[in-house]
């Protein structure tokens, strides 16, 4: 029992010695750090340019401009620059002047010292001393959207309305030299398969590489169409001969040709013979030809497609 109590007492004393040692070690380290940070150091760091009060009629084309600034200050002040993103503010109302095609910033070290830094910071050097900002005149332009989607319908289904995108156009705002080159915007390439319901799909726009310099009213559109069940119909349509030789009697067969069409079930009853017209034009024949080629010159807009199933009409000419 006595040995256990003695062991605990010695262990406690040793732990206290270790704790005291660690306190002294930490204190020495803190004093060293404070001593180091209290000294002055010289270093060069890049300052990003923060542009303010840019005139609305202009757009600046240089987004990655920076200035390397050499400073001398104490360590505590350097912590501010090392652990943040230092910026140099350029006021386009007061700090720049305009030359041909550019804004120019070339303020002196004393100006920067008085406006950007406090008295504890000594400004030693600027590189470059002159910064130019290319600019363009803002242009607003409305351009159409082109669809690049490929839609495949299930058997017996099709779109009863045209494929459209909403919105069908995009407002583009930016420098005239950039915006003037944009005449349309395409959607992403997308394949939509086995469609049997109404289409309402989001599509991303393929924006130009320099999109950071241009504003777009939207970057996405929606592809839309009404999808219905479709069926095929067939009608016998009379053939009409045009441009026949004068003073001649034309006998031809058949008098009617079969025309098939593809239409939605909801519109099927609205299709009739009067919606179609088939002709044969004698001007399209050669001298020894004995047949005419029927041509469908009128078809209903409700039909997705229409075609003549018979490609020849035989004829003879009697005087």
The most distant pair of C-alpha atoms in the chain lies apart, rounded to whole Å, by: 146
CB 218 within 8 A of CB 158: no
Q: What is the CATH number of the domain that holds 64?
A: 2.170.120
Residue by residue, DSSP assigns 38-83 as HSEEEEEEEEEEEEE---TTEEE---S-EEEEEEEEEHHHHHHHHT
Q: What is the pLDDT of residue 19?
A: 59
Confidence tier at 37 by pLDDT (50, 70, 90): very low
Token digits of residue 235: 């009608």
Beginning with the edge strand found earlier in the chain, give each strand of the sheet holding 220-225 in spatial order.
164-166, 220-225, 199-204
Question: pLDDT at residue 314 above 50?
Answer: yes
Q: What is the pLDDT of residue 268?
A: 95
Question: pLDDT at residue 30 above 60?
Answer: no
Can you tell me the distance from the alpha carbon of 294 to that of 276, in angstroms, rounded to the nearest whole number? 13
Q: For the chain, give percent helix, strand, coil, nearest 5.
A: 25, 45, 30
Same domain assignment for residues 250 and 185: no
For 89-105, the pLDDT digits (tens) are: 888 888 888 888 788 88
**Residues near 102 by Cβ (< 8 Å), separated by ≥ 6?**
132, 133, 134, 135
* Average pLDDT, rounded, for the chain: 83
Percent of the chain with pLDDT over 90: 43
Beginning with the edge strand found earlier in the chain, give each strand of the sheet holding 40-52 in spatial order.
87-91, 40-52, 66-74, 122-127
Q: What is the pLDDT of residue 145?
A: 97
Q: What is the pLDDT of residue 86?
A: 78
Same domain assignment for residues 242 and 287: yes
Same domain assignment for residues 152 and 84: no
Percent of the chain with pLDDT over 70: 78
Same domain assignment for residues 235 and 314: yes
Range of lowest pLDDT (135-144, 188-197, 301-310): 135-144
Our count of domains for the chain comes to 3
Confidence tier at 69 by pLDDT (50, 70, 90): confident
Same domain assignment for residues 246 and 283: yes
Q: What is the pLDDT of residue 55?
A: 83
Q: Exposure pattern of 94-132 as b/e (b: 16+ CB <10 Å)?
A: ebbeeeeebbebebeeeebeeebbeeebebeebeeeebb
pLDDT: is 64 or 70 the higher one? 70
Same domain assignment for residues 44 and 121: yes
Provide the domain limits for residue 116. Answer: 40-129
Question: pLDDT at residue 122 above 60?
Answer: yes
Confidence tier at 16 by pLDDT (50, 70, 90): low
Same domain assignment for residues 220 and 235: no
The answer as to whether 209 is a domain residue is: yes
Q: What is the pLDDT of residue 237?
A: 96
**This model's pTM is above 0.85:** no
Same domain assignment for residues 92 and 162: no
For 108-120, the pLDDT digits (tens) are: 766 676 666 666 6
Q: What is the CATH number of the domain that holds 310?
A: 2.170.120.30
Question: pLDDT at residue 259 above 70?
Answer: yes
Task: Report, as an integer, the average pLDDT of 269-289.
Answer: 92
**Residues near 21 by Cβ (< 8 Å), separated by ≥ 6?**
none
Q: What is the pLDDT of residue 132?
A: 84
Same domain assignment for residues 263 and 214: no
Can you tell me the distance from the alpha carbon of 66 to that of 50, in angstroms, rounded to the nearest whole number? 9
The answer as to whether 16 is a domain residue is: no
The answer as to whether 163 is a domain residue is: yes
Q: What is the pLDDT of residue 44?
A: 78
pLDDT: is 64 or 28 the higher one? 64
Range of lowest pLDDT (2-6, 49-53, 78-82, 296-300): 2-6
The answer as to whether 34 is a domain residue is: no
Last residue of a domain, one of 129, 151, 171: 129
pLDDT: is 112 or 281 the higher one? 281
Last residue of a domain, one of 105, 129, 153: 129
């Amino acid at each position: 029992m006595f040995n256990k109590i003695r062991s605990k007492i010695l262990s406690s004393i040793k732990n206290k010695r270790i704790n005291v040692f660690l306190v002294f070690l930490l204190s020495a380290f803190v004093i060293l750090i404070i001593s180091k940070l209290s000294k002055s150091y010289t270093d060069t760091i890049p300052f990003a340019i923060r542009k303010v009060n840019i005139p609305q009629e202009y757009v600046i084309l240089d987004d990655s401009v920076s200035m390397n600034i050499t400073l001398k200050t104490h360590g505590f002040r350097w912590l501010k620059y090392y652990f943040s993103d230092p910026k140099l503010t350029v006021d386009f109302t007061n700090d720049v002047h305009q030359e041909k095609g550019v804004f120019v910033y070339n303020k002196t070290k004393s100006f920067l010292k008085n406006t950007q830094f406090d008295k504890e910071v000594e400004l030693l050097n600027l590189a470059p001393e002159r910064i130019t900002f290319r600019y363009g005149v803002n242009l607003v332009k409305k351009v159409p959207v082109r669809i690049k989607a490929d839609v495949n319908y299930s058997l017996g289904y099709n779109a009863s309305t045209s494929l459209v995108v909403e919105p069908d156009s995009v407002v583009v705002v930016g420098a005239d030299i950039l915006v003037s080159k944009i005449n349309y915007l395409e959607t992403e390439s997308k394949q939509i398969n086995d469609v049997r319901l109404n289409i309402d799909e989001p599509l991303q726009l393929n924006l130009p590489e320099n999109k950071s310099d241009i504003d777009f009213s939207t970057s996405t559109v929606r592809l839309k169409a009404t999808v219905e069940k479709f069926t095929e119909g067939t009608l016998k349509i009379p053939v009409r001969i045009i441009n026949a030789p004068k003073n001649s009697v034309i006998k031809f067969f058949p008098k009617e040709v079969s025309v098939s069409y593809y239409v939605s079930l909801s519109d099927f009853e609205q299709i009739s013979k009067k919606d179609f017209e088939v002709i044969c034009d004698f001007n399209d024949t050669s001298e020894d030809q004995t047949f005419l080629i029927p041509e469908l010159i009128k078809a209903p807009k409700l039909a997705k497609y229409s075609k003549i199933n018979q490609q020849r009409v035989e004829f003879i000419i009697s005087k």
